[in-house]
Amino acid sequence: DTGVSQDPRHKITKRGQNVTFRCDPISEHNRLYWYRQTLGQGPEFLTYFQNEAQLEKSRLLSDRFSAERPKGSFSTLEIQRTEQGDSAMYLCASSWTWDRADNEQFFGPGTRLTVL
């Protein structure tokens, strides 16, 4: 396994269109996280899954955003009716974590979204 992968790496879309991103975590990892990073800022937490259950969602995750991890492996993040403010780098990370242990989160390379 070569790490966390994300697809696509770049996405350009027009305002109002829907987009979907995919994240493939490291295979044995049970937790999967989504972050958003805008230029000059650090990553902002969006949501995370433990196996297939979505356990936390940030207030940043508006109703237009939805994330799934149907079989506890890969995850998708969909943005409906995109807005220019959605332009950002979307990062995925995964970890093998139990209880509240602070195990390392391994990050993918990100998907850069540009909304025109």
Partner 1 sequence: GNSVTQMEGPVTLSEEAFLTINCTYTATGYPSLFWYVQYPGEGLQLLLKATKADDKGSNKGFEATYRKETTSFHLEKGSVQVSDSAVYFCALRGSDTGNQFYFGTGTSLTVIP
Binding residues (CB under 8 A) for partner 1: these are 3-4, 31, 33, 35, 40-45, 48, 55-56, 58, 91, 93, 97, 102, 104-110
Q: Which two tokens stand for residue 54?
A: 């979505």
Please provide the DSSP assignment of 5-18 as one string: EEE-SEEEE-TT--
CB closer to partner 1, 21 vs 33: 33
Contact call for residues 44 and 36 (beta carbons, < 8 A): yes
Q: How far is the CB of 30 from partner 1 (least distance, A)?
A: 12
Q: 3-class SS at 28? A: coil
Q: How far is the CB of 106 from partner 1 (least distance, A)?
A: 8
Q: 3-class SS at 77? A: strand
CB closer to partner 1, 18 vs 51: 51
CB closer to partner 1, 42 vs 85: 42
